[in-house]
Amino acid sequence: MTSSSATSRKALSKIASNRLQKELVEWQVNPPVGFKHKVTDNLQRWVIEVNGAPGTLYANETYQLQVDFPEHYPMEAPQVIFLPPAPLHPHIYSNGHICLDILYDSWSPAMTVSSVCISILSMLSSSTVKQRPEDNDRYVKNCRNGRSPKETRWWFHDDKV
């Protein structure tokens, strides 16, 4: 399940496109609480509004997720980033990249856009401080050429937040 930004630019395979259409229909019928899919005609890139859960540090804040699907979705993970401004969170870099295992090594084709969204909201909700990751500046500098977070070798060290 290796990936590169080159493959994610390729058109969706038939199976990917079919699955995404069904996911979208399911989303419209039963959207995950706190999320809103912004309607476009681009099935390969979804922009999703996230509302911080009430009672958490991000209550009453709205952010935008951009989800790009690779040709071989769902065998390959989608690329998920926050559009600027990204929420202040110990696992979210200022360029919008998210350090969350299920988006990379732990992706499973049984996951859906909806389940990924719920995981991200859960990650936000369990945060106790609004701050950037310690290595934010170094990481963001390294990504200046528009590198995909899927090319990053992530190191998942903190399972608390």
Partner 1 sequence: MGNKLGRRRQVVDEKYTKPQGLYHHKDVDIKRLRKLILESKLAPCYPGDEDSTCDLEECPICFLFYPSLNRSRCCTKGICTECFLQMKVPNSTRPTPCPFCKTSNYAVEYRGVKTKEEKGIEQIEEQRVIEAKIRMRQKELQDEEERMQKRQDLSSSSRTMGEVDHGSIGVLSSRSPVDEEEIVSADQSCSTSMTRQPPHLRTNRDDEFDLDLEDIMVMEAIWLSIQNQENGKHKGLAQSEAAPSEQYVSEDHYVSQATAPLAGSASSPSGGLACAIAALAERQQTSGESSFNHNTTMSTYNVLPNCGQFYPNAVQASDSYAAPEGGTELAHGGGIPMARDDGEWNMDRGSEVAEAGTSYASSDSPEDAGGISALPQSNEVDAGFQNLPAPIVPESFEEQMMLAMAVSLAEARAVASGPGVTWQ
User: Interface residues with partner 1 (CB under 8 A)?
Assistant: 1, 13, 15, 18-19, 22-23, 54-55, 74-75, 106, 108-110
Q: Name the minimum Å distance from CB 36 to partner 1.
A: 18
Q: Name residues whose C-beta falls within 8 Å of residue 136's C-beta, 6 or more positions apart in sequence.
A: 93, 94
Closest to partner 1 by CB, 42 or 126: 126
Q: Name the minimum Å distance from CB 21 to partner 1.
A: 9
Question: Which helix H or strand E contains 66, and what residues bound it?
Answer: strand 62-68
Catalytic: 117? Answer: no
CA distance 1 to 78: 12
Q: Name the minimum Å distance from CB 108 to partner 1.
A: 4
Spatial contact of 94 and 86, defined as CB atoms under 8 Å apart: yes
Closest to partner 1 by CB, 40 or 106: 106
The tokens describing 64, both together, are: 């935008």
